[in-house]
Structure 1
Amino acid sequence: MEFALLNGHRSLPIPRSNGECQFCGHPVIAKCGPQLIWHWAHRSRYSCDPWWENEGPWHRSWKNHFPSEFREVVAYDSLGEKHIADLKLPDGLVIELQHSSMTIEEMHSRESFYDKMIWIVDAESFVRNITIFDPLPNPKLPFVDDLIFYPPHPAWRRDRVSQKGSYKSLIVSRRSKNVPGSSMVEIESGRTITEDFDATYIGHHLFLWMRPRAIWYQTTRPTFLDFGDGRIAKLMRYREEKDIWCLKLKRKDDFINLLRSRISYPAADGR
């Protein structure tokens, strides 16, 4: 844990200090060795919150983007159940940082408990299994309703090169050209829409995830993969619920700034 109660106040670890767990009230001790991330630990092997996972550099780096009062916040539901949220912003949004594996039951329990939440997943260890392919146009544009996009084939990981700055490599068909009752479909490339690329691309891409962490296809809350290279990818359906899966890419710095914008900071002169 990054925070514990020291003399009744939330405190970061201080060498040779003893405190109290803000969640369960049990004694904790500051761990401040030169090879460790400084943290508080229960004196015994006691785990007060079953949803808590051991914190590493990835967790701490994310938390450090936010003021201390929004980190490790004890959250309650209407029945008095409580858990420690990794981050909870002033508007109630909970940000759960997930590095290790968990069960589908735990994931859905956490989503139900926090409700207004997002997941940020440490994807650096499996990003090599994700191949990002062709860009897709903004799914909310009217002309996209007529298009059917076809997901990539595993062989494309070797043979196909995505053409950056265009939709040329897409394989599409048009609903307006499909004959009712016929199994025949007219296939075309994305060349017919590529001239509008700059105006219609907002980060969506086809992708393949080999040996996926399948649990993340079952989440009911917004889920973002942190690739560890300055990019964040939202894992999402492209349009309606049963449409193809896609990734929406954005710069990690921009994403952090978007989350931080939910915090109201006082003016420099105090007004």
Structure 2
Amino acid sequence: MNAFGESVWHREWKAAFPSSFREKTFYSEEQSCHHRADVHTPCGTTIEFQHSPISLEELQSREAFYPNLVWVVNGKKFKGFKVLKHLPDVDDHRLAAYEFSHTANLTLFRKADLERGKPRLLTLGHPELFGLKLTSHYFSFIWKHPHKVWYEAKCPMIFDLGGYFLYRLKQRPQLSGAYAYLEMIPRKDFIAAYLG
């Protein structure tokens, strides 16, 4: 950390953007205070780099203040976090009658069976699901000790686990509760999308 409480990770992320994008200050009349965005792009997107956990109140406050906010969270510090396996396209129309299991990786339930209280696990090799191709960009994951606030974000939530790829936290609405999964994004593509 430097004298201003900023981590090396935080500074390196900000340095990926032109200095004219960094440390932009905005005044909130409603809250009678100033907010400083880590990065604010000409297209009106604010990018906040979060090295440490925050409270739900802080998350909601920032999301309410910045209309187009993207979170980038340092996931290198996550405990018990592991990217698992490729998933099929979770929005594929053939999966409309199914829900992903929260506990058994790459398995699904029929919604009708869940509603009847007689759920039966199906693998992707089941005849009803046969032919669903796995994507190269959607992944299942496990997180044994999650910072649950990140699941409450309404704005895009990007986890930086280090390396050439970032992972956007996504959630598929289900009767049994939202199914969380990851969308892999090349780091260079993420940065390029906000430079233009």
After superposition, the Cα gap between the structure-2 partners of 1:84 and 1:232, relative to the gap in structure 1 and judged at 3 Å, is same
Give the SS at the match of 1:91. Answer: coil
Q: 2:168 & 2:96 partners in 1: Cα distance?
A: 21
Q: Unpaired runs of 5+ in structure 1?
A: 1-35, 42-52, 154-168, 264-271
One of 96, 121, 124 as aligned partner of 1:145: 96
Aligned-residue sequence identity (percent) comes to 27
Match of 1:57 in 2: 8
Amino acid at match of 1:62: W
Instruction: Please tell me whether residue 248 in structure 1 is matched to residue 170 in structure 2.
Output: no
Q: 1:58 & 1:181 partners in 2: Cα distance?
A: 46
One of 65, 68, 75 as aligned partner of 1:123: 75
One of 107, 112, 121 as aligned partner of 2:64: 112
Residues 90-239 of structure 1 aligned to structure 2 (within 5 Å): 90-126=42-78, 129-152=80-103, 170-175=106-111, 178=112, 182-192=116-126, 193=129, 195-197=131-133, 201=135, 203-239=137-173
Q: 2:139 & 2:114 partners in 1: Cα distance?
A: 29
Amino acid at match of 2:18: P
TM score, norm. by length of structure 1: 0.62
User: In the TM superposition, what is the alpha-carbon distance from 1:68 to its structure 2 partner?
Assistant: 1.0
Q: For each residue in 1:215-246, what CA deviation from the matched residue of structure 2 results, as whole angstroms up to 9, or x when unmatched?
A: 21222221111001222111121246942111
Amino acid at match of 2:59: M
The question of whether the paired residues in 1 share the 8 Å contact of 2:99 and 2:174 is answered with no
User: In the TM superposition, what is the alpha-carbon distance from 1:81 to its structure 2 partner?
Assistant: 3.3
After superposition, the Cα gap between the structure-2 partners of 1:240 and 1:54, relative to the gap in structure 1 and judged at 3 Å, is farther
Amino acid at match of 1:184: K
Higher strand proportion = 2
Amino acid at match of 1:244: Y
Match of 1:257 in 2: 192
Q: Unpaired runs of 5+ in structure 2?
A: none
Amino acid at match of 1:94: T
After superposition, the Cα gap between the structure-2 partners of 1:144 and 1:78, relative to the gap in structure 1 and judged at 3 Å, is farther
Bigger relative CO (Cα 8 Å, ≥ 6 apart): 2
